[in-house]
Structure 1
Amino acid sequence: MGVFYDYYRAANRQAAAENPDDPRAVEKPIPGVATFDAVEAKWIDPYVILGQLIALARDVPYSLDLVRPVTVYPPPEGAPATMEEWEALPDDSPYKEGPGIEELSADVRDTLAGIPDSRVDELVERWEQIEEFAYVPPGAGYLLEILTGLRGLAQRAQEEEQMIYCWICI
Structure 2
Amino acid sequence: MRVASASPRQGTAARYAQVSQLGGAPRFTTAAGHNATVSVLPETVALAEQLSAVDEVMVMRRDTRLLYRNHLTDQGHWDRNPAGDLAVIGEHYRPYTAQEAAQFWAGQRRLHAAMPQYRDDLVAIAALACPLMPAQRPHQLDMPAPAAALPVPAEVLSLRP
More helix by share: 2
Which structure features the higher share of strand residues?
A: 1
- Superposition TM-score, scaled by structure 1 size: 0.24
Q: Which has the higher contact order (CA 8 A, sep 6+)?
A: 1
Q: Normalised by the size of structure 2, how large is the TM-score?
A: 0.25
Larger Rg: 2
